[in-house]
Structure 1
Amino acid sequence: MTIEDRQEILRQLDVEAESYVFPMLDNGYYYHADQKMTIFRDDKRWAILLEVLAFFNHESGLDGITTIANVFGNCLTGWNDNNNFNYFASDNGIETFLTDDTIYLPYLNPEAKNILVRGQEIPIIFDRQYYKSKKVELEYEDKITPWEFLRGLIPDKSNLFWVTREEISTKIPKDLPIFMTLDNWHHPNLVEDEKPSETETFQQLADVIMTGDKNLYNTAEITNTHWTNWLEGGTL
């Protein structure tokens, strides 16, 4: 097995985009919060792990906080399936969210003090100025929605929501080393039919994967992965 040329790498990403597997950051069912890309490679193998942290709009509790972990590569031992969806947050003795039955809106329980993420207590913040400092404009004067709460957690607590190397080893061989990670990049606008292969970012990342030279990633494209660029997400 050898690493394919850049066109084959990009072709795989494009095919997965056409199949709605490659992440769509303004997916109508998910309020986007954060993202991470991890590239794995050696002389013969490559893999990309693309993680999206978001809130599923058909849930009203902490189960809506979802880490979607999609994998691509030439050596995968598991595929993109229901196991891509990970849930690491849980209530801590009291319901974190209540529901306003008049407008069917979930909101932070004023009595809740913290949540658990992988067993670690995370304090719940109600201070409106705190959310403003995170660029979160609260929609309601007396309520904080789950997706606003989630966006208030990042990037400070994002690391608690990413899958571990052990967890992803069911799909990416455990002996394949991590080569490069990105927290922000220029993501294709799939709604506008932009393909990964049409962006300089992914063209250069394909070159990086092929050659093992990180210096080939020097794009002038503006990063656009921050959730403020994808406000249509979750609104269906």
Structure 2
Amino acid sequence: MTRVSAGILSLLAAGSLALTGCGPALAAENHVRAPIAKVKAKESGLKTAIFAGGCFWGVEAVFSHVKGVKSAVSGYHGGTQRQADYKLVSSGITDHVEAVRITYDPSQIRYDQLLRIFFSVVADPTLRNRQGPDRGAHYNAELIPTSAQQLKVARAYLAQMKRSGVWDKPIVTDIVRAQAFYPAEEYHQNFALKNPRHGYIRRWDAPKVAALKEFYPGVFRASFLKD
């Protein structure tokens, strides 16, 4: 496995604070280079995709640094609108999963490239109902295609990942049919941008952004997407 340098991780994780929010402070994650997709997405015009990869703060933070991503919204996928509330969802009693809906320009970043980024620096595809320090079905890693083309590419990429040998445990990430998406409360939007010194952000999400920059400098955007 190709991993982010320990120096970057230790520097970003240093000085972490006691945490509230998505989960407790534990050791930082390792990141790997996912394979280049053999099946390329063929799309034009602005497109929307939904990714669930644990706490939505980190998913949004990473995609907000990807060139070609025009918006990234944290929210709740599935379930009902009445229960799309952070306290309820984080309690694990609803049918939602924390997710991020992104709008992207395929002329700048393709869906298959987004998948590679997602599995390289955002989500561990060998974990079910948890990511990082967070536990529960609402933190499951899921691909949520919004078109037939995305579904085709997602299926092909998961199959390719299983054959790649990059991961030493079975790939268990699900492909889930797109349902309703409910934007999360305003204080969750752009959370990493607004709270760079928050303990969870420093320990878990800053290393993900650092890994994006190290692995894929050609698509890395230094400043946060704010919209």
Specify if TM > 0.5: no
Structure with higher Rg: it is 1
Select the structure with the greater relative contact order (CA < 8 A; seq sep ≥ 6): 2
TM-score, scaled to structure 2: 0.29
TM-score normalised per structure 1: 0.28
Say which structure is richer in strand. 1
